[in-house]
Amino acid sequence: MTQLALVIDLNVCVGCHACVTSCKQWNTSGDAGPLPDDNPYGANPTGVFFNRVQTYEVGKFPNTETIHFPKSCLHCEDAPCVPVCPTGASYKRKEDGIVLVDYDKCIGCKYCSWACPYGAREFDEHDKVMKKCTLCVDRIYDQNLPETERKPACVMACPPGARLFGDIHDPDSEVSSAIREQGGFALMPELGTQPSNHYLPRHKRKIPIHEDELVRVDSPLAKEEKKDYDEGSASLEDSASW
């Protein structure tokens, strides 16, 4: 049985958000859209995003690292959002394992959102229905596109190539090989949802930092001290000239 999924390399992702913007652009104009944004620059912005990038700083100063963590629907093999849906709007396709929402059946009760442990569901305030990543199902089967472009928009847009797409049940696929050879892992496997999307871990490395590197050349304090020193020197020169 086919199970399409994304594999994201955390060692390659640079947090540029190209995946976020390309996803928004494609799905706003496609079958999953529109994806609204209300009051984006105000105090209480709302909107629908299928893909988000969370950024964390880990470690202890000065040995810290920045990790960019893209997250979207994981298309779980045992998706908890499906059985709780009272209308059957949330469903998992047998032919490719993609979890979708039938907007005509959705009543916006948000049961699927409560059941999803990954926070991957989005409520559209305009259409009053739940929406989520579709793995660009309208794109990956589009016969009018070249075969090389029949991939999710986020995969096509990723500049460093941190996102892979394919069948994780096919042992010879690119995604399966990456998971097997690079220690790919699923998010929160202890929940038993069997997420299809996987992540490739960051390489563990320690970068030596010298003490002089901890002093910022653009430090405001350093600039202030230099200013005081320059002013003091000027005063001494003026005194000497008297």
- pLDDT at position 77: 96
Residues 6+ apart with CB under 8 A from 237: none
Q: What is the pLDDT along the chain (242 residues), one digit of tens a residue?
A: 899 999 999 999 999 999 999 999 999 887 777 888 888 788 888 889 999 999 999 888 878 889 999 999 999 999 999 999 999 999 999 999 999 999 999 999 999 999 999 999 999 999 999 999 999 999 999 999 999 999 999 999 999 999 999 999 999 999 999 999 999 999 999 999 999 999 999 886 655 656 665 566 665 555 555 566 566 555 555 555 55
Q: What distance in Å separates the CA atoms of residue 4 and residue 44, rounded to the nearest whole number? A: 35
Residues 6+ apart with CB under 8 A from 103: 89, 127, 129, 131
Q: Which two tokens stand for residue 73?
A: 């629907």
- pLDDT at position 61: 82
Residues written for the chain: 242
Residues 6+ apart with CB under 8 A from 4: 75, 96, 97, 98, 135, 140, 165, 166, 167, 168, 196
- pLDDT at position 239: 55
- pLDDT at position 41: 84
CA 234 vs. chain centroid, Å, equals 55
Q: Provide the whole-model pTM.
A: 0.81
Q: What distance in Å separates the CA atoms of residue 99 and residue 113, rounded to the nearest whole number? A: 13
